[in-house]
């Protein structure tokens, strides 16, 4: 009785421009879940989330062990909508807690992908850094020193289902080639710490143009990011949050410009890229 684990999991931004359903990066906003063996099931949280077994964290936990005797205390800095991987973080937290409590040595990544339905946010949440998801496996690189992120989080959300429905079933060969080239530029730029390549590599033709009508102010900000002093910007996941990429020397000035642009419709956060993925601490 009274076994306790605290799991902390980062937010994540998927796609990173041209890397649709392939690339993602962890960001230093965190979900914290404390799981305590109290002899009863309960969820304690101030968040607007399910407080029964529909809760994503609990559903994930129950993939490995019944939750009957456990209380889940859930706190989060991650916005619940907007494309910042809040669901992936909850799933990874639940699975990690159960795996650690019962020493199961489970394949947390595989199980998390099954619950979430796609690997990109899950991989970044679990492993941290920048991840490349291909062939059911994850390749991870550390974000280069000096790279910083700013998030512009609109007050109005966009439904993920609407964002998915906006995508065409087929794309022109030229757009596919464009994205292959820019994923190559972006990953090489991140590996080298080459800011020019990173900035060039952020351009996308597969998903952002098709969804721009769902979040016109976010789309406009992506187009204008370079003129504000940033390396560039991407729509985070299905949107409408914008991830603005910056070199640390320009970040303060970019943040000021973004706050002026976002006044009245969005919040701006200075959020570093995160190298640390999910971590767990035993308290009992």
Q: Which CATH number fits domain 4-141: 3.40.50.12280, 3.40.190.80, 3.30.230.10, 3.40.190.10?
A: 3.30.230.10
Q: Which of 219, 191, 152, 176 is nearest to 20 (CA)?
A: 176
CA gap 177, 13 in Å, rounded: 23
Residue 80 marked in a binding site:
yes
Residue 89 marked in a binding site:
yes
Residue 236 marked in a binding site:
no
Homologous superfamily of domain range 147-272: GHMP kinase, C-terminal domain (3.30.70.890)
pLDDT for the residue 160? 82
CA gap 95, 188 in Å, rounded: 33
Residue 86 marked in a binding site:
yes
3-state secondary structure of 44: strand
Average pLDDT over residues 182-209: 97
Distance of CA 259 to the CA centre of its chain: 22
Residue 24 marked in a binding site:
no
Which pair of tokens denotes residue 243?
A: 């991830």
Instruction: Give the strand pairing for 23-37 and 130-134.
Output: antiparallel
CA gap 232, 204 in Å, rounded: 11
Q: How confident is the model at residue 82 (pLDDT cuts 50, 70, 90)?
A: confident
CA gap 275, 239 in Å, rounded: 23
What's the half-sphere exposure (Cβ side, CA atoms, 13 Å) at 233? 29
Q: How confident is the model at residue 2 (pLDDT cuts 50, 70, 90)?
A: confident
pLDDT for the residue 283? 82
pLDDT for the residue 159? 86
Instruction: Domain ranges for the chain, please list them.
Output: 4-141, 147-272
DSSP 277: -
Residue 81 marked in a binding site:
yes
Instruction: Give the strand pairing for 266-272 and 242-247.
Output: unpaired
Residue 88 marked in a binding site:
yes
Average pLDDT over residues 229-255: 96
């Amino acid at each position: 009785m009274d076994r306790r684990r605290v799991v902390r999991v980062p937010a994540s931004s998927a796609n990173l421009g041209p890397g649709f359903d392939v690339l993602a990066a962890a960001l230093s906003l965190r979900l914290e879940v404390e799981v305590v063996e109290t002899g009863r099931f309960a969820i304690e949280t101030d968040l607007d989330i399910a407080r029964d077994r529909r809760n994503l964290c609990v559903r994930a936990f129950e993939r490995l062990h019944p939750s009957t005797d456990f209380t889940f205390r859930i706190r989060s800095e991650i916005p619940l909508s907007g494309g910042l991987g809040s669901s992936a973080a909850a799933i990874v937290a639940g699975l990690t807690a159960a795996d650690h409590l019962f020493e199961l040595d489970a394949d947390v990544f595989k199980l998390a992908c099954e619950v979430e339905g796609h690997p990109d946010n899950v991989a970044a949440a679990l492993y941290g850094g920048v991840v490349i998801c291909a062939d059911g496996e994850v390749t991870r690189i550390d974000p280069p020193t000096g790279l910083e992120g700013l998030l512009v989080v609109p007050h109005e959300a966009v439904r993920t289902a609407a964002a998915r429905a906006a995508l065409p079933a087929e794309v022109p060969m030229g757009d596919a080639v464009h994205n292959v080239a820019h994923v190559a530029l972006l990953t090489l730029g991140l590996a080298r710490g080459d800011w020019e390549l990173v900035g060039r590599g952020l351009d996308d033709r597969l998903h952002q143009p098709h969804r721009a009508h769902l979040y016109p102010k976010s789309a406009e900000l992506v187009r204008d990011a370079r003129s504000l002093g940033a390396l560039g910007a991407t729509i985070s996941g299905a949107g409408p949050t914008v991830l603005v990429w910056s070199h640390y020397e320009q970040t303060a000035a970019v943040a000021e410009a973004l706050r002026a642009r976002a006044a009245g419709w969005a919040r701006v956060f200075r959020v570093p890229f995160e190298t640390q993925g999910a971590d767990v601490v035993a308290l009992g």
